[in-house]
Amino acid sequence: MKRLLITGAGGGMGRVMRERLATLAETLRLSDVAPMEAAGPREEVVYCDLADRDGMMRLVEGCDGIVHLGGISREDSFSRIMQANILGLYNLYEAARAHGMPRIIFASSNHVVGFYRQDQFIDTRAPALPDTLYGVSKCYGEALAKMYYHKFGLETAIVRIGSCFEMPRSHRMMASWLSYADFTSLVETIFKAPRVGCTTIWGVSNNDARWWDNSEANFLGWRPKDNAEDYRLAMESSTTTPDPNSADAIYQGGPFTSFGIKPD
């Protein structure tokens, strides 16, 4: 690609992917409202609010692909989620439609299915059971991506990210963990694939304890290599085992299922 846009480049995953995805394009365009490091070689740093329609139009112009990590990444008030994850995503898709229909990787979340139990093994056809307003906003994002594909042909890989960190940090993450290396290889696979359509993919490594079936996306050829089991001893030595009657031990969304509604 000539230019790859990464939104949310100032966040945790964005900072990691800024380095790991540098070889995918001649130029990385990096965007956020949060502080970012100054532009390096073959980088463009652009501060832009997702809710700014005109700013988003300028941001997307000239981009061949988009990794959309931007927006609110946890539970928050509805007003903040609405601006970033609902209005902001609409602005992104309208900008993409206006500027050459670049392929999009949309960072969805496991919290669209947070109220499934941890003893259930589900695929991407399972009905949504969001656990938070944040999870609801990701359901909206998935629906928006599907509409733009079927109405306009704009391709999106919907990646339902589990828990993307350097290593698993809790018992729950023994199932939901996605390594940086596996996410990097997934992004590379998506942009190299001749066809993506609008495909939903579980963003999860090859964990023995995983809850999610990725067979619907097998045609892409992505095969995660890392396994949370390699870190079990380190995780168990640094964390406590959750109460078996707690949300953290019962539901796939863990403690998100017990959050209240945050007032505006």
- For residue 74, the model assigns a pLDDT of 96
**Residue boundaries of the structural domains of the chain:** 3-258
* Residue closest to 69 by CA, chosen among 114, 31, 113: 31
- For residue 15, the model assigns a pLDDT of 98
Angle, in degrees to the nearest 10, between helices 12-20 and 180-192: 60
The pTM of this model reads 0.97
Mean pLDDT of 8-29: 98
Say if CB 96 and CB 156 are below 8 A apart.
no
Say if CB 183 and CB 17 are below 8 A apart.
yes
Mean pLDDT of 18-36: 97
- For residue 71, the model assigns a pLDDT of 98
- For residue 65, the model assigns a pLDDT of 98
Task: Give the catalytic positions in this structure.
Answer: 134
Superfamily of domain covering 3-258: NAD(P)-binding Rossmann-like Domain (3.40.50.720)
Q: What is the pLDDT of residues 215-258, one digit of tens each?
A: 999 999 999 999 999 999 999 999 999 999 999 999 999 999 99
Mean pLDDT of the chain: 97
Q: What is the pLDDT of residues 58-86, one digit of tens each?
A: 999 999 999 999 999 999 999 999 999 99
Q: Is 54 exposed, middle or buried (0-12, 13-18, 19+ CB in 10 A)?
A: exposed
